Amino acid sequence: MDDRVSTQLLNWYDRNARSLPWRALPGEKAPDPYRVWLSEVMLQQTTVAAVKPYFQKFTQKWPTVQDLAAASDEDVMAAWAGLGYYSRARNLAKCAREVAEIGGFPENEAALLKLPGLGAYTAAAVAAIAFGKRAVVVDANVERVVARLFAITEPLPAARKVIREATDTITPTERSGDFAQAMMDLGATICTVRDPKCLLCPLSVDCRAKEAGDPTELPKKAPKKQRPERLGRAFWIEQNSKVWLVRRPGTGMLGGMRALPDDGWSARSDGHGEPPLAGDWESFGAIRHVFTHFGLTLELRAVTDLAKQPEGDGEWWPIEQLEEAGLPTAFAKAASLALARK
């Protein structure tokens, strides 16, 4: 089965590979490691459709890893705004500087793993796709394909060790990068979560889940815990067609990003804090945003007739240029609510 799987899959990939802006198609020269690494970091827990415009923006603004290394944290965070999981952006800047300092990306997994923000998956993907090294690359799509192919019934996340071991048995020495991307494409387009197209699958003959009758039963997942809820307030402080923005602390949630002032909801489980200054505050309603580990209802309060100027670190930002501030999604939603009320 092992050699047959890789042969069948690579033959399918040669005919059906997705054309993606960070990818070299079968037979083409290996892609720039910078583009592979950047795309893989962006694609963590994010869809291809969402990543494409960000990848284009980053590679136009910073065409090389050296260009990105020279960028300020503020510019990188602003360019990343809206893509979520902001620790990725902070590690992106750190990693770029380290890679520039050592003169380029290392070629093996062990050395790649030492770079900031590179876990086992990203290190394996860069080693295989950019450098042609044999590496076992397992993302969510690969987990699904392999769990079905081998009929692995242990629930995730406990099954990940078994899935990786099974993936190792079918990963070829040659064309390891193409094989990894073929597995990803198969999971994204054929072996999908709810509607696997088994009649079109190049691995259907060997698929044990298909033989058992219902591939959608796998992979099994442990029951989800109920997501807790938080309440908070954000504050729209406007004067002379400008809004007061603050810089969030460098560590913690949304660290280092521009935002509206708030009541410290990210450090509390519930409740509302007081406005940052005295004034005739008006409620503008609320937005809802879902983070990975909790849901947030964020009330927006606004003041335009200031009794005194805001204190502390902040800046007056032209409202007509607010999109350039790089607000994270929760605060961008709050800003949109304020603009809709104006």
| Active site members | 40
Helix runs in the chain, H state only? 2-16, 33-43, 48-61, 65-70, 73-80, 87-102, 109-112, 120-131, 140-149, 160-170, 176-189, 208-212, 329-341
Which region, left, alpha or beta, applies to residue 252 given φ > 0 means left and ψ of -120 to 50 means alpha?
A: left
CB within 8 Å of 315: residues ≥ 6 apart: 244, 245
Distance CA 51, CA 61 (A): 15
Sole residue written with tokens 């869809």: 47
Q: Whose CA is closest to 261, among 300, 231, 229, 297?
A: 300
CB within 8 Å of 47: residues ≥ 6 apart: none
Contact 244, 237 (CB under 8 A): yes
Cα separations in angstroms, 197 against 1, 16, 216, 226, 336 = 21, 14, 11, 32, 41
Distance CA 109, CA 335 (A): 43
Q: Considering just the CA atoms, what is the radius of gyration of the chain in Å?
A: 23
Strand 242-247 and strand 282-290: the pairing is: unpaired
Contact 202, 32 (CB under 8 A): no
As given in the structure block, the two tokens for residue 319 are 């409202």
